[in-house]
């Protein structure tokens, strides 16, 4: 069997292409084609014919979190994981490495009205009727600001303490027997309001729940009367 080598009709051009591809891998074949006055496809054919590398070695460059400065892996990167993706960073730190560039969140007038009615001790059903919105919308909006009745002070304070210590949502879910979605709501309300979510309906309402006043029927004298 006779092995024939390809004949190079322009060795100077081939040597220049090889020097570019091997000496400066960041130089793309499109840039080489522009300088030599050829098409990118023609450069690719020459590279394949004379065993010149056509691919550029990928260089790993981690991204930096805008909030804490820790590195994390770029998204959709086929290189082996080093620091973890943005989701891993979110689970470790509780914040996203690339937050939305939006102005600080402010409650709308309708939400402020619902918060005032909630602080007066009115139920979600009464708030829904007065404001004119569905009951599910009231529950969702109150949950955003940490005023939903499903918040429990002792449990949520323990969750936030574990989260600030560095526990991931997976560890919190196993420890506190809650879904990750619920944990994100609790931590999100804590971050958004700057304090511990508390199922409050006003200090007077809480005091009444702690020490309820006995109610007597009309015409009936209560204790000590």
Q: Once rounded to an integer, what is the mean pLDDT over residues 103-132?
A: 84
Among the listed residues 145, 156, 149, 154, the one whose alpha carbon sits nearest the alpha carbon of residue 191: 145
Residues 89 and 42 in one domain: no
Q: Is residue 224 part of a domain?
A: no
**From CA 182, how far away is CA 174, in angstroms rounded?**
13
Q: Once rounded to an integer, what is the mean pLDDT over residues 197-220?
A: 39
Q: Is residue 160 part of a domain?
A: yes
pLDDT-derived band at 215, boundaries 50, 70, 90: very low
Residues 36 and 77 in one domain: no
Residues 153 and 190 in one domain: yes
Residues 117 and 204 in one domain: yes
Residues 121 and 191 in one domain: yes
Residues 164 and 79 in one domain: no
Residues 86 and 118 in one domain: no
Residues 145 and 201 in one domain: yes
Backbone φ and ψ for 64, nearest 5 degrees, come out as: -115, 130
Q: Is residue 199 part of a domain?
A: yes
Residues 45 and 113 in one domain: no
H or E segment and range at residue 144: helix 135-144
The domain containing residue 42 runs over which residues?
11-49
Among the listed residues 13, 18, 19, the one whose alpha carbon sits nearest the alpha carbon of residue 37: 13
**From CA 147, how far away is CA 106, in angstroms rounded?**
16
Residues 179 and 87 in one domain: no
Among the listed residues 159, 171, 162, the one whose alpha carbon sits nearest the alpha carbon of residue 197: 159
Per-residue pLDDT of 26-53, as tens digits, reads 788 888 899 889 898 998 888 888 888 8
Q: Is residue 28 part of a domain?
A: yes
**From CA 141, how far away is CA 148, in angstroms rounded?**
9
Task: Kindly state the tokens that stand for 134.
Answer: 């569905």
Partner residues linked to 71 by β-bridges: 64
Task: Decide: residue 105, CB within 10 A, 0-12 exposed, 13-18 middle, 19+ buried.
Answer: exposed
Give how many domains the chain has, as a whole number: 3
pLDDT at 221 over 80: no
Q: Once rounded to an integer, what is the mean pLDDT over residues 205-223?
A: 39
Per-residue pLDDT of 173-197, as tens digits, reads 999 888 888 888 888 777 766 665 5
Residues 129 and 189 in one domain: yes
Q: Give the model's pLDDT for residue 130.
A: 92
Q: Is residue 216 part of a domain?
A: no
Average pLDDT, the chain: 75
Backbone φ and ψ for 72, nearest 5 degrees, come out as: -150, 160
pLDDT-derived band at 99, boundaries 50, 70, 90: low
Q: Is residue 98 part of a domain?
A: no
- What is the chain's Cα-based Rg? 32
Residues 25 and 113 in one domain: no
Q: Is residue 219 part of a domain?
A: no
pLDDT at 200 over 60: no
Q: Is residue 99 part of a domain?
A: no
Contact in structure between 177 and 188 (CB atoms under 8 Å): no
């Amino acid at each position: 069997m006779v092995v024939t080598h390809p004949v190079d009709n322009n060795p100077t051009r081939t040597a220049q292409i090889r020097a570019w591809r091997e000496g400066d891998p960041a130089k793309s074949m499109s840039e080489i084609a522009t300088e030599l006055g050829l098409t990118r496809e023609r450069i690719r054919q020459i590279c394949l014919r004379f065993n010149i590398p056509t691919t550029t070695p990928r260089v790993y460059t981690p991204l930096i979190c805008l909030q804490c400065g820790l590195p994390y892996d770029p998204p959709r990167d086929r290189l082996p994981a080093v620091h973890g993706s943005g989701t891993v960073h979110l689970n470790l730190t509780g914040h996203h490495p690339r937050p939305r560039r939006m102005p600080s969140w402010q409650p709308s007038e309708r939400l402020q009205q619902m918060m005032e009615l909630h602080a007066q001790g009115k139920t979600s059903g009464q708030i829904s009727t007065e404001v004119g919105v569905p009951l599910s919308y009231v529950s969702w909006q109150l949950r955003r600001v940490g005023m939903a009745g499903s918040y429990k002070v002792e449990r949520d304070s323990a969750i936030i303490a574990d989260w600030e210590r560095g526990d991931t949502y997976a560890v919190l879910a196993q420890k506190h027997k809650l879904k990750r979605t619920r944990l994100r709501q609790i931590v999100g309300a804590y971050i958004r309001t700057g304090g511990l979510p508390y199922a409050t309906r006003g200090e007077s309402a809480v005091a009444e729940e702690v020490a309820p006043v006995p109610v007597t029927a009309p015409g009936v004298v209560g204790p000590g009367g």
